[in-house]
Amino acid sequence: MESKTWPVLRSWNRAIFSKEEKAVQEKYNYHDIERKWQARWEESSLYRVTEDPHKKKYYCLEMFPYPSGNLHMGHVRNYSIGDVVARFKTMQGFNVLHPMGWDAFGLPAENAAIKHGIPPYKWTVDNIANMKRQLKSMGLSYDWKREATTSFPDYYKWTQWLFLQLYKRGLAYKKQGYVNWCPSCATVLANEQVVDGACERCETPVEKKALEQWYFRTTAYAQELLDSLVDLPGWPEKVKIMQENWIGRSEGAEIYFTEEKSGEKIAVYTTRPDTTFGVSYVVLAPEHPLVEKLIANTSYEKPVKAFVKKVQKMSEIVRTSAETEKEGMFIGVYVINPVNQEKVPVWVANYVLYEYGTGAVMGVPAHDERDFMFAQKYNLPIRVVIQPHPAADGPANELSASEMTEAYVGDGKMVNSGKYSGMPNREGGRTLAEDLAKEGAGQVKVNYRLRDWLISRQRFWGAPIPIVYCEKCGAVPVPDDQLPVLLPLQVEFRPTGESPLNSIPEFLHTSCPQCGGPAKRETDTMDTFVCSSWYFLRYTDPKNTAQAFAKEKADYWMNVDQYIGGVEHAILHLMYARFFTKVLADIGLVSVREPFQNLLTQGMVLKDGAKMSKSKGNVVSPEEIIEQYGADTARLFILFAAPPERDLEWSDQGVEGCFRFLNRVWRLVYHYLEDVRQQKELLVETEQLSQDDKAIRRLLHGTIKKVSEDIEQRFNFNTAISAIMELVNGLYHYREKAGQNKKLLRECMETLIVLLAPFVPHLSEELWECLHTGTGKGESVHRQPWPQYEPAALEAEEIEIVLQINGKVREHLLVPAGISREELEKRALATGKVQGALEGKQLVKVITVPDKLVNVVIK
């Protein structure tokens, strides 16, 4: 740690701080104190930061909020945690970037416009103003000069510019596809935004629609997004597992089955090429284009079409549920299995997904649960091609198709599989896939569950996609010098389900940037997750009008050393931001390939065991709490009540307790104020200390050690705070002792206040000022170096040893520190307790742990 050498500031505006002896109020008046310091910090630009090549940087970031208009307790928790980290790192001597901004595009602004006739931009800026006021009342150490707002043209200009960078590299493209449509939001949704077949925002069941939409090619980065998770040891395992599942990599093979009459090839994807000899049918997804083609002008055309229609009518929830009955229909054609030239029927069935793999699968009833059920229902043949390895002892449990009641999906020996028979299935499957590839009848294939990211939204309040459609030239990107494509400010909102941009001729009609002819603008806007995929980069250079951000600045600050936010973003935002960072790295705009080095996912704030919500009526308003107890109390409670990752149960009485503690601190410092003011120096030598003095100093330095470690290594603010409470309790007791050392008192008071500074910035700043009038050390407590503990001060002369007999605590021994194992054992055995217990018994063993415990085993 470099705190000791860290130079005290240069630019502090000393005039702001009074040099006069300050009259201190006896009572802790949080209201005046908080207002006073918030104003002074702002006047003196205490929290401004700039790049400084001579200092080690630290980028502390909390997920920026959607400006709903009011801060809730989840925000308070998120930002309190981040503020402790930022302040602590600053005191440790790091150059700390701690910014804040607004994820300001999105549906609620449009809903407000429809409902109340307020223009979205107005609604948004008003909400921002209110939330900013609330944030400022919390006393957070943000550099507000770096504020970024995604819905402002100076920001979304660069969102559009980044879109075009992706477009130029083929990473943004338009395609026709079956997409998720939320009828209530009247827009399409990304896969990630569909939860249990419903819209994640409004819970309306999602419909499938065939539409032409814009996509980002996230699949091009699927493998890297998966691989580089191992480069993130500072991320919670849980989040990494969720991302891993979402990417859903699987290894297998594509195998081509040829239709006997037309020669049409059906590609199926399987992870089990070892079971290819067991295929008894092939199934196509209802949406598969070959279905229509193969049944054209046959007697099967009518019934199959009716079946397909019926399946497509099912809601997404019902259709993708594992419980839904598997249904299918033979479509009248046969294909040839390339491994054995067998003729197998082609079916269409509701359980095959068109979006995954090739949209077609081979049915192997003996070795796949779904295929087994399907085969039983429709009387399709079952053929065993894998025999389980016989158990070590018991009888051979040979499978036979007629006796099977469920599929065997385990490993084993290949049988009935031509030249592969006898091989272990894993190895045989690999060989078989390679052989098929050589013959042109298949290929080894890796598949991902991850799809490309659908980014177009049929909404108004988002960044317009900067594309123009020309009758002659087709889709043409808007040239950089014509950015941003501005959203019109005056818009009429009617709940028509169509983007209002379509009904604004001035927006819609434009000229082609290429040929100058008449052209129409793209009226879809971008998913708001696009805006939040790069905001952490904008913070490094927020005022840049020539670039999204200067590379040198991004390179100085990136990556984010500590990112803090809710676990609900484990997949969406965090995956998209990772994708963007990798793309930007490949373009050469940044040097890092991962945006967030360490991630902390905080738990929810609960009341009466449930998440706070209006419908449950258990919402506690941060504004009211701050009004009633002050921001310092609110922050302290929320940090003290639980460690950050866990859910936190709100308790009004717990808040009272924290308020009481701060009053206790206030009274303690007030009590000693005169003594401390008389004594301008800190303790240097320790020889003349009394036993009481030594004890309190040991407590003090033990607290420094504990608080430092709890913040730095574990983010366990709750135990850090409890250690400070113990110190305060100790100091109260010390007050009763006679003849206190005044230098020591100053050391205790100063250290106590500095330790409290990251948690309760206003109170500690006020007390620091009270303590330092006239000492020349009166600059902000938040510019003080973090204290170091003295190992020597921790050493006690006597140590309490636990004496156990047969593993049970029987006595405590007071012994000189550092005595030898032998001496300790000797003393333990000499005690009356042990001697008594030994009477008539035998000493079996003595376990001695120096400085800790002795366990005497007696029989």
Partner RNA sequence: GCGGCUGUGGCGGAAUUGGCAGACGCUCUAGAUUCAGGUUCUAGUGGGGGCAACUCCAUGGAGGUUCAAGUCCUCUCAGCCGCACCA
By CB under 7 A, what part of segment 336-355 binds RNA?
A: 350-353
Our finding on whether 228 is near RNA (CB under 7 A) is no
Q: From the CB of 307, what's the least distance to RNA, in Å?
A: 14
Cβ-based burial of 422 (10 A; exposed 0-12, middle 13-18, buried ≥19): exposed
Q: Which of the ranges 132-140, 383-391, 591-599, 727-735 carries the binding residues for RNA, by CB under 7 A?
A: 727-735
Our finding on whether 361 is near RNA (CB under 7 A) is yes
Beta bridge partners of 328: 349
The DSSP secondary-structure symbol of 193 reads G
Q: From the CB of 685, what's the least distance to RNA, in Å?
A: 29
449, 248 Cβ separation under 8 angstroms: yes
273, 432 Cβ separation under 8 angstroms: yes
Give the span between the Cα atoms of 334 and 775, in whole angstroms: 94
142, 49 Cβ separation under 8 angstroms: no
Nearer to RNA (CB atom), residue 446 or residue 475:
446
Nearer to RNA (CB atom), residue 41 or residue 408:
408
Our finding on whether 357 is near RNA (CB under 7 A) is yes
Three-state SS annotation for 524-582: CEECHHHHCCCHHHHCCCCCCCCCCCCHHHHHHHCCECEEEEEHHHCCHHHHHHHHHHH
H helix intervals, 379-515 = 425-439, 505-508
Give the span between the Cα atoms of 148 and 663, in whole angstroms: 37
Q: From the CB of 111, what's the least distance to RNA, in Å?
A: 24
Q: From the CB of 774, what's the least distance to RNA, in Å?
A: 28
Our finding on whether 800 is near RNA (CB under 7 A) is yes
Q: Which amino acid is at 169?
A: R
The DSSP secondary-structure symbol of 286 reads T
Give the span between the Cα atoms of 51 and 541, in whole angstroms: 10
Q: From the CB of 238, what's the least distance to RNA, in Å?
A: 4
Report the site for RNA in 450-509 (rule: CB under 7 A): none
Q: From the CB of 430, what's the least distance to RNA, in Å?
A: 14
Nearest residue to 493 (alpha-carbon basis) of 71, 110, 771, 57: 110
Our finding on whether 205 is near RNA (CB under 7 A) is no
Report the site for RNA in 560-579 (rule: CB under 7 A): 567, 571
Q: Which of the ranges 419-427, 591-599, 673-681, 712-720 carries the binding residues for RNA, by CB under 7 A?
A: 712-720
Q: From the CB of 641, what's the least distance to RNA, in Å?
A: 4
- Copy the structure tokens of residue 133: 């006021």
Q: From the CB of 438, what's the least distance to RNA, in Å?
A: 21
Among 400, 482, 678, 806, binds RNA (CB under 7 A): 806
* Contact string (CB under 7 A) for RNA, positions 612-651, x = contact: ----------------------------xxxx--xxxx-x
Among 70, 431, 729, 773, binds RNA (CB under 7 A): 729
Report the site for RNA in 414-453 (rule: CB under 7 A): 447, 449
Our finding on whether 218 is near RNA (CB under 7 A) is no
Among 726, 790, 823, 825, binds RNA (CB under 7 A): 726
Give the span between the Cα atoms of 337 and 125, in whole angstroms: 64
Nearest residue to 759 (alpha-carbon basis) of 607, 582, 640: 640
Our finding on whether 718 is near RNA (CB under 7 A) is yes
Report the site for RNA in 653-672 (rule: CB under 7 A): 653-654, 656-658, 660-661, 663-664, 667
Euclidean distance between the first and final Cα of the chain, in Å? 52
Our finding on whether 119 is near RNA (CB under 7 A) is no
711, 84 Cβ separation under 8 angstroms: yes
Our finding on whether 809 is near RNA (CB under 7 A) is yes
Q: Which of the ranges 117-125, 590-598, 652-660, 779-787 carries the binding residues for RNA, by CB under 7 A?
A: 652-660
Our finding on whether 709 is near RNA (CB under 7 A) is yes
Our finding on whether 812 is near RNA (CB under 7 A) is yes
Among 67, 74, 139, 359, binds RNA (CB under 7 A): 359
Mode of pairing for the β-strands spanning 281-284 and 360-363: antiparallel
Q: From the CB of 609, what's the least distance to RNA, in Å?
A: 8
Among 56, 733, 777, 826, binds RNA (CB under 7 A): 733
Q: From the CB of 311, what's the least distance to RNA, in Å?
A: 9
Nearer to RNA (CB atom), residue 316 or residue 675:
316
Give the span between the Cα atoms of 96 and 86, in whole angstroms: 6
Q: Which of the ranges 99-107, 178-186, 219-227, 704-712 carries the binding residues for RNA, by CB under 7 A?
A: 704-712
596, 532 Cβ separation under 8 angstroms: no
Nearer to RNA (CB atom), residue 39 or residue 796:
796
Among 267, 587, 802, 819, binds RNA (CB under 7 A): 802
Q: Which amino acid is at 544?
A: N
Neighbour count for residue 464 (Cβ, 10 Å) = 25
Report the site for RNA in 257-316 (rule: CB under 7 A): 269-272, 285
Cβ-based burial of 624 (10 A; exposed 0-12, middle 13-18, buried ≥19): exposed
288, 263 Cβ separation under 8 angstroms: no
Q: Residue 322, by phi and psi: left (phi above 0), alpha (psi -120 to 50) or beta?
A: alpha
Nearest residue to 172 (alpha-carbon basis) of 182, 181, 161: 161
Total residues interacting with RNA, rule: CB under 7 A:
86
Nearer to RNA (CB atom), residue 431 or residue 663:
663
Three-state SS annotation for 436-474: HHHHCCEEEEEECCCCCEECEECCCCCCECCEEEECCCE
Strands laid side by side in the 798-805 sheet: 808-816, 798-805, 853-858, 843-849
Neighbour count for residue 839 (Cβ, 10 Å) = 7
Among 34, 110, 368, 766, binds RNA (CB under 7 A): 368
Nearer to RNA (CB atom), residue 381 or residue 566:
566
Our finding on whether 855 is near RNA (CB under 7 A) is yes
Among 50, 732, 737, 826, binds RNA (CB under 7 A): 732
Nearer to RNA (CB atom), residue 181 or residue 269:
269
Among 714, 737, 777, 821, binds RNA (CB under 7 A): 714
| 3-state SS, residue 135 | helix
| 3-state SS, residue 351 | coil
Q: Which of the ranges 50-58, 79-87, 241-249, 583-591 carries the binding residues for RNA, by CB under 7 A?
A: 241-249
Nearer to RNA (CB atom), residue 461 or residue 640:
640
Nearer to RNA (CB atom), residue 164 or residue 285:
285
Q: From the CB of 225, what's the least distance to RNA, in Å?
A: 16
Q: From the CB of 663, what's the least distance to RNA, in Å?
A: 6
Nearer to RNA (CB atom), residue 368 or residue 522:
368
- Copy the structure tokens of residue 660: 């009481």
Nearer to RNA (CB atom), residue 172 or residue 854:
854
Give the span between the Cα atoms of 203 and 195, in whole angstroms: 8
The torsion defined by the Cα of 267, 271, 273 and 275, in degrees rounded to 10, comes to: -110
Nearer to RNA (CB atom), residue 134 or residue 447:
447
Nearest residue to 575 (alpha-carbon basis) of 244, 243, 250, 249: 243
Neighbour count for residue 35 (Cβ, 10 Å) = 12
Our finding on whether 62 is near RNA (CB under 7 A) is no
Our finding on whether 326 is near RNA (CB under 7 A) is yes
Q: From the CB of 590, what's the least distance to RNA, in Å?
A: 29
Nearer to RNA (CB atom), residue 66 or residue 715:
715
Q: From the CB of 724, what's the least distance to RNA, in Å?
A: 8
Report the site for RNA in 14-53 (rule: CB under 7 A): none
Q: Return phi, psi of residue 422, to 5°.
A: 95, -20
Cβ-based burial of 704 (10 A; exposed 0-12, middle 13-18, buried ≥19): buried
